[in-house]
Amino acid sequence: FTDDTSMALCLANSLVACRGFKPYDQLVRYKWWYKFGYMSSTGHCFDIGAATSNSLREFERRQNIFAKEFSIPIADMDQLSNDELVQKFDTYCSEDGVAGNGALMRLAPVPLFFHKFPVIAVEYSGVSGQITHGDRKACDACRYYGALIVAALHGYTKEELLDDEFYSKHTKWFCNNQLHPDIESIAKGSYKKDGYNAGIRGKGYIVAALEAALWAFWSDGNSFEKGALAAVNLGDDTDTTAAIYGQLAGAHYGYRKLPERWLQHAYAKTFMEKLSKWIAYEGESWQKPIEHTVSPAPISNI
């Protein structure tokens, strides 16, 4: 597997190890992947996007500054466990205007973990993307897609998931925080057209990637295999378009509907099965805090 799955596994491991949502720990694990090949299928990082690598270099730079400011040995920074100190660390490491699909390709562990609490799942979905991709469109693409995955886990039908009014019917899940117009247009069904011939593209831009993945889900004839292949055959950023498709389609169709011959060749299949069960267990055990410990980053209205 490629960077999409590696980063999703980093995120999943963070949720399980921390038994909750800790952006600092997520960035640490992404950094481990970037520098040491943690959660890689090849033992090293490959195919990392420019936005992600820039944000991780910025994260490491901030770690060095923070260590000096608070007299912490730099070797201890990755294991920073003092909650008061962690709260002082700015984990929003992206430049403004960064809207690559890397924020969306790794998302699924967040709505899987927090599906019992849709409002929190949607909020954390946005934050999970924004720590490396600072544009409002990236945040809102993750919020919207996170909501769809939560709804799928709650047993919504495909027609309900793809309802052009899904967003307007679930504004409480979004705390009445309006989606960016480009994302809202997709939520209203802009992807429901003749695929590649009508301009659907699996590009690195998060708006195009979201539209392409939803087109694949909408047109897959209730077949995960058909949808995944359709996503790949759009060309361009093929692995990421398919990874985004697979998150929602997998939540909707379920494990048993995945092609068996694909599962037989999946790298680290047993590990991923166990980790998925662990996420389910910890997510069921997680209780809503009295107050959130994560604050959203300032977002421009551009």
The answer to whether residue 192 is domain-embedded is yes
Q: Which amino acid is at 88?
A: K
Q: How far apart are CA 112 and CA 164, in angstroms?
A: 23
| Mean of all residue pLDDT scores within the chain | 95
The answer to whether residue 295 is domain-embedded is no
Average pLDDT over residues 222-229: 98
Question: For the whole model, what pTM was predicted?
Answer: 0.95
CATH number (domain holding residue 140): 1.10.4080.10
Alpha helices in 131-268 (DSSP H): 136-153, 158-161, 166-169, 181-187, 206-218, 224-232, 238-253, 260-263
Tell me if residue 222 falls in helix, strand or coil. coil
User: Is the pLDDT reported for residue 48 higher than 50?
Assistant: yes
Q: How far apart are CA 296 and CA 298, in angstroms?
A: 7
Q: Is 236 annotated as a binding residue?
A: no
The answer to whether residue 15 is domain-embedded is yes
Q: What is the pLDDT of residue 301?
A: 40
Q: Is 3 annotated as a binding residue?
A: yes
The answer to whether residue 291 is domain-embedded is no
The answer to whether residue 169 is domain-embedded is yes
Quickly state the pLDDT bin for 293 (edges 50, 70, 90): low
Q: Is 239 annotated as a binding residue?
A: yes
> What is the total count of domains within the chain?
1
Residue ranges making up the domain that contains 87: 3-285
User: pLDDT tens digits, residue range 172-218?
Assistant: 999 999 999 999 999 999 999 999 999 999 999 999 999 999 999 99
The answer to whether residue 155 is domain-embedded is yes
